[in-house]
Structure 1
Amino acid sequence: MCVNILDMQRELKERAGIFVSARDIERTLAALQTTTDIWTTVERSQVPMRVLCALLGILHEQNLIAIEDTQLILTDAGRAFCHEHQIAPWHATTCHTCNGRGVDIASLAGVVSAFREIARNRPEAIQDFDQGYVTEETTLARVAFLWWRGDLDGKEIIVLGDDDLVSIACALTGKPKRVVALDIDDRLISFIDAVSNERELTNLTTLQHDLREPLPDELVGKFDVFFTDPTE
């Protein structure tokens, strides 16, 4: 039985199979004091999903949380545990305009509305490839970040897996020299190709490819920037 944070840390490390800090546990419990939603818990705790799921299992076994439908509910015992270990509730201090990202998608004038229109028609995410795309605002913020960091203008960019349509958003800016999107899903490849043709995005090409296999030789060492959003 886990009676303190250190015991819980040891158990969690064994279950998750990777290093876990005591702060990961504290941040999760801080988040659970303010939300019952798992995705909000991920966002507020900044704990990887693999670790979080293992931790939630431990917390549930210890009766520190209850799981009802899809809700994570901190029990009275859980609140007492937080009080005993001086774990305060999560508190928001991030910018409400940019949601703490530090970039403003308004800088992508002319791209925002076009990308939102395109994204409405994207293929549905499927579990076969562990897909789950982010919001349009998140994709646009990623492109704005690339621009800020000098990784967009005149660059050759390769996107490794692209259910978030980063390749399209990059190409719409007209800034990159070349954007190549790789994905295993032929639906996404066909969609990106169709958008590229319709919008005359001459700097955007695709390749259907299983990233469990090595990159084709003609792509190795040919890019300035790579972008990927790996699975948890």
Structure 2
Amino acid sequence: MNRSKDGPQYRLKFDDSILLIDKKKFTLLKFIDECGSITNASKKADIPYRSALKYIEDLERELNKSIVSTQRGGKGGGGESKLTSEGKAILKEYRKVESILKMHADVNEIEGYIKEIDYENKIAIIYLGEKKVILPLRGNFKVGDRALVLISPEDIFVMLKPQESSVRNIFPGKIIGMELKNHLVRLNVAVEDITLFVDITEYAREQLDLHLGKDIYIGFKAAALAMVKI
């Protein structure tokens, strides 16, 4: 995910092309799909007509495919613009990314490249430092894809030592921060070269005798993870 003056830009992968698209470009394409007119869509999206044309040209150049098909009208007008199948695919992919991020507005993010895929068991593997992270294989991923993994702080378990269980991902860490957040205790845990935040109850904190600087283990189930291409 990148940022621009128009907000976050999401990297959408189509075949061998990478598109950077933000909310403004998505809104323009959505209104073209609804209105059948670039002129009307640009007005509804509050984008100058020439800027709208440039947005479309830039996306088509990056994708090397047409995303808007325009049919000129006769003397009385009646022209029409509509999204091609590639244009509709952009809308679909953007909506998927946005819906996942909305579901996980307060979320841990891990970026990495997919190193292994087990198609039989439907799992993918990235690395957090030297440790494997096992992910559910959902969607069209392949080895080498760059992925953003999302983990809710409430889906992370805290342990004082590794335990035999259905939790596939267990990592050693150290508590480097602690605060009260929405009636829960939020821990900042240093794991490898990143920091993850974990939400637990005050009762759990007392039972585990957690404090700053304490070495712990954290774990999370593969099924609790969401993954998107970036």
TM range (shorter): under 0.3
| Higher-strand-fraction structure | 2
TM-score, normalisation: structure 2? 0.27
Rg larger in 1 or in 2? 2
Task: Report 1 or 2 for greater relative contact order, CA contacts < 8 Å, sequence distance ≥ 6.
Answer: 2
Higher helix fraction (1 or 2): 1
TM-score by length of 1: 0.27
